[in-house]
Every structure is written in C-alpha cells, then in structure tokens.
Amino acid sequence: MLPALPRNPMRLTEIQRQTVKRLAAEIFGADAHVRLFGSRVDDAKRGGDYDFLLETALDDADALIDRKIRLLAALHATPAFEDEKIDIVLMTPLSPRLEIFDVAVREGVAL
C-alpha cells in the first residue's frame, strides 16, 4: 500500500479550492498565486472568514481594483462561497511591503 500523502490543514473544501484557483486565473491571469491564511488554515478552529492572499504581477492600479471586485463578485456568485465573508489581500509590484504579506506567506497554505 502506498503511504498517504500529507494533508494540508485547512478548512476549505476541494470544490472551494478549485473555484478560487479557477476564478483567480480567469480574472488575474494564469500567473496569479493564491494562499489561504488566517483562521481557516487551522482545522481546530470554527467559523471565521476566508482570507486569501493573491499575488500578481499586474501593476495597473485601476485594473487591480476592478479585478479584485470582479473576483469577489464571482466568488459570491458560486454556491461554494454564497453568503460567506471573503477578504482578498493583493500583493503586487505596487504594494508597499506590509506585515500581513509576511504572515500570509509564512502561515498560509498555497492553493
């Protein structure tokens, strides 16, 4: 018997994971990277919103805002995230270096 693959601890279903990855790629491009961070990476916790760090090379402020709103709307339009609270933190070439980026990269789980 093959050994079990290590499981990433997180309270995100496979359908939700695939939905976020697909929509982020459609809206921000195939080079966008998404991490789940915050309370949802801890299987022992209950509740909490979905905190995502989205890394993108886009550097047009207007396009970034437009795409972030489009991604939030698209996620909320899916059964997987209907009525859920979702926060998306964008890390871009325009972003000042913020501590939340370090926390999300260090403690987050790549999707």
Domain that holds residue 67: 14-110
Residue 40: inside a domain = yes
Residue 44: inside a domain = yes
Round the average pLDDT of the chain to a whole number and report it: 89
Contact 45, 11 (CB under 8 A): yes
pTM of the prediction?
A: 0.87
Residue 75: inside a domain = yes
Q: In total, how many domains does the chain have?
A: 1
Residue 101: inside a domain = yes
- Residue 101: pLDDT over 90: yes
Q: Among residues 90, 88, 6, which one has the least CA distance to residue 49?
A: 88
Residue 6: inside a domain = no
Instruction: Count the Cβ atoms, other than its own, within 10 Å of residue 66.
Output: 12
Confidence of residue 48 (pLDDT cuts 50, 70, 90): confident
Residue 1: inside a domain = no
pLDDT of residue 9: 55
Confidence of residue 29 (pLDDT cuts 50, 70, 90): very high
Residue 3: inside a domain = no
CATH number at residue 43: 3.30.460.10
Q: Among residues 57, 35, 39, 34, which one has the least CA distance to residue 49?
A: 39
Residue 8: inside a domain = no
